[in-house]
């Protein structure tokens, strides 16, 4: 059994027919116990449209879920949890990039079911908490360590195509460091009904307020952690309500305020357009990611960037930023931009040379270190 992603070659693209560090499967590599099994599944793929993509991943998920059921019935809860998490991960790959068709919604329900089974015996337990905003409900996962007094807490913010079921490991690290946590889907994904727009930052604020209102939580010691688009959202939240956050960790994220050179922008647009070749929905349907252009990127920068919205200068709490130097989706200049501004000594970074988007190949170092850092800042 091969479970070491460091043995893989490095690529920086979104090709779902290649298993590599920095590539399409980077999102899940650290969650998969047997990379040889993953390779075998990928080798048998006949396409990406939901009619051929979903059955392949569902078969793998069902196999692991059945093994989990067997182990659960035998009373081996630890082994059952591992099997259920493998099932969850394969179902999650099948639903990528989200519930864009009824078939995708079905395997998304499989993913949620397997994850709930994996959480049956968690200590501390996982509680489903609904956050209400404007009459709509955002479903979150809350955990808190046992304590005689209120504890610091972290809002764990998900990205565009990895949902809260795939961020349970972050709540594990939080609990290990005495931190409560709330894991939440990004606006426009999973069980968050709000659209992905700059104005939807208020959905994050509502979740942060709900976290602060928990009796187990010390409302004066709140932090946030996010990866990929979640890394951007962490910084957006920090600039929106700096008075409510004491520390944040952003793994990747774009756009903060860095202006790409012409060569960088051309490469960025090319990478986005390569991604737009793939259709993960119905046969004959539109690309699951839209084509890109310099003009589109410049428009997004004007509407979304922290600098254009006056948010960058409002981030006044300790910030830890992490990424790989060869990120093709969130240029590393974003980190340099933030390091060159803000209160002196308040911002730190870890850039992994030669690593790709989010530096997932170094997860075993930066993931525990991030929560150790958060615990120190919130102590």
Ranges of each domain in the chain: 5-118, 127-257+305-378
Q: What is the pLDDT of residue 336?
A: 96
Q: Is the pLDDT of residue 4 over 80?
A: no
Q: In sequence order, which residues have a C-beta less than 8 Å from that of residue 172 and are 6 or more positions away?
A: none
Q: Are strands 319-324 and 247-251 parallel, antiparallel or unpaired?
A: parallel
Q: Distance (Å, rounded) from C-alpha 324 to C-alpha 365?
A: 13
Residue entry with tokens 């850039």? 351
* For residues 101-112, average pLDDT: 96
Residue 319 sits at φ, ψ, to 5 deg, of -130, 135
Encode pLDDT of 236-271 as tens digits.
999 999 999 999 999 999 999 999 999 999 999 999
Confirm or reject CATH 1.20.1440 for domain 5-118, answering yes or no.
yes
pLDDT digits over 69-82, tens only? 999 999 999 999 99
Name the one residue in this structure whose structure tokens are 């990379």.
35
What mean pLDDT comes out for the span 353-364?
95
CA dihedral 246, 177, 5, 87 (to 10 degrees): -100
282-320 pLDDT tens trace: 999 999 999 999 999 999 999 999 999 999 999 999 999
245 close to 317: Cβ distance less than 8 angstroms = yes
Average pLDDT, the chain: 96
pTM above 0.85, yes or no: yes
Please compute the mean of the pLDDT values over residues 155-180 and round it to a whole number.
96
The pLDDT tens digits of the residues spanning 135-162 come to 999 999 999 999 999 999 999 999 999 9
Q: What pLDDT does 1 receive?
A: 65
pLDDT(214) > 80: yes
* Nearest one of 292, 311, 288 to 300, comparing CA atoms: 292
Mean pLDDT of 358-376: 97
Q: Is residue 6 over pLDDT 80?
A: no
Asked if residues 255 and 301 have their Cβ atoms less than 8 Å apart, the reply is: yes
How would residue 7 be classed by pLDDT, with cut points 50, 70 and 90? confident
Beta-ladder partners of 347: 319
Q: What is the mean pLDDT of residues 89-105?
A: 96
CB pairs under 8 A, 24+ apart, for 294-303? 294/265, 294/266, 294/269, 297/265, 297/268, 297/269, 297/272, 300/255, 301/255, 301/259, 303/198
C-alpha 336/C-alpha 339 separation (Å) is 5
> Residue 139: phi, psi to the nearest 5?
-85, 130
Q: In what order do the strands lie in the sheet with 347-352?
A: 127-133, 136-143, 180-184, 151-157, 217-227, 247-251, 319-324, 347-352
Instruction: Round to the nearest angstrom and report the end-to-end CA distance of the chain.
Output: 40
- What confidence category does residue 2 fall into, taking pLDDT thresholds of 50, 70 and 90? low
Q: Which of 4-18, 217-231, 335-349, 364-378 has the lowest mean pLDDT?
A: 4-18
Q: Each residue of 25-55: pLDDT tens digit?
A: 999 999 999 999 999 999 999 999 999 999 9
- State the SS3 of 270-283: HHHHHHCCCCCCCC
pLDDT score, position 28: 96
Give me the pLDDT at residue 342, please: 84
Q: Which CATH architecture has domain 127-257+305-378?
A: 3-Layer(aba) Sandwich (3.40)
DSSP H stretches of helix in 98-228: 102-118, 168-176, 201-213
Tokens of 249: 């960790």
């Amino acid at each position: 059994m091969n479970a070491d992603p460091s043995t893989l070659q490095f690529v920086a693209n979104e090709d779902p027919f290649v298993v590599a560090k920095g590539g399409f499967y980077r999102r899940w590599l650290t969650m998969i116990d047997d990379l040889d099994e993953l390779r075998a599944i990928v080798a048998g793929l006949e396409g990406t449209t939901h009619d051929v993509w979903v059955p392949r991943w569902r078969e793998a998920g069902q196999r692991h879920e059945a093994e989990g059921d067997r182990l659960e019935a035998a009373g081996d809860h630890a082994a059952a949890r591992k099997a259920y998490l493998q099932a969850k991960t394969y179902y999650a790959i099948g639903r990528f990039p989200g519930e864009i068709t009824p078939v995708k919604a079905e395997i998304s329900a499989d993913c949620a079911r397997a994850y709930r089974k994996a959480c049956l015996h968690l200590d501390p337990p996982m509680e489903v908490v609904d956050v209400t905003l404007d009459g709509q409900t955002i479903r979150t996962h809350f955990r808190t360590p046992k304590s005689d007094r209120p504890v610091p807490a972290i809002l764990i913010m998900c990205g565009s195509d990895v949902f809260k079921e795939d961020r349970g490991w972050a709540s594990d690290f939080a609990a290990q460091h005495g931190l409560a946590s709330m894991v939440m889907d990004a606006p426009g994904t999973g069980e968050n009904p709000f659209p992905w727009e700059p104005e939807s930052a208020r959905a994050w604020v509502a979740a942060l307020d709900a976290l602060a209102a928990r009796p187990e939580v010390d409302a004066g010691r709140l932090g946030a952690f996010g990866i990929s688009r979640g890394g951007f959202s962490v910084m957006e939240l920090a600039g929106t309500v700096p008075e409510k956050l004491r520390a944040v960790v952003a793994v990747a994220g774009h756009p903060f305020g860095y202006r790409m050179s012409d060569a960088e922008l051309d490469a960025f647009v090319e990478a986005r357009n390569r991604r737009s070749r793939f259709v993960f929905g119905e046969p004959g349907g539109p690309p699951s990611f839209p084509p890109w252009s310099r003009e589109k990127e410049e428009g997004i920068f004007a509407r979304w960037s922290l600098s254009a919205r006056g948010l960058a200068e409002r981030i006044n709490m300790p910030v830890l930023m992490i990424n790989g130097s060869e990120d093709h989706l969130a240029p590393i200049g974003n980190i340099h931009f933030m390091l060159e501004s803000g209160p002196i000594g308040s911002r730190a970074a870890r850039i992994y040379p030669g690593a790709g988007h989010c530096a997932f190949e170094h997860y075993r170092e930066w993931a525990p270190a991030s929560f150790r850092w958060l615990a120190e800042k919130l102590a």
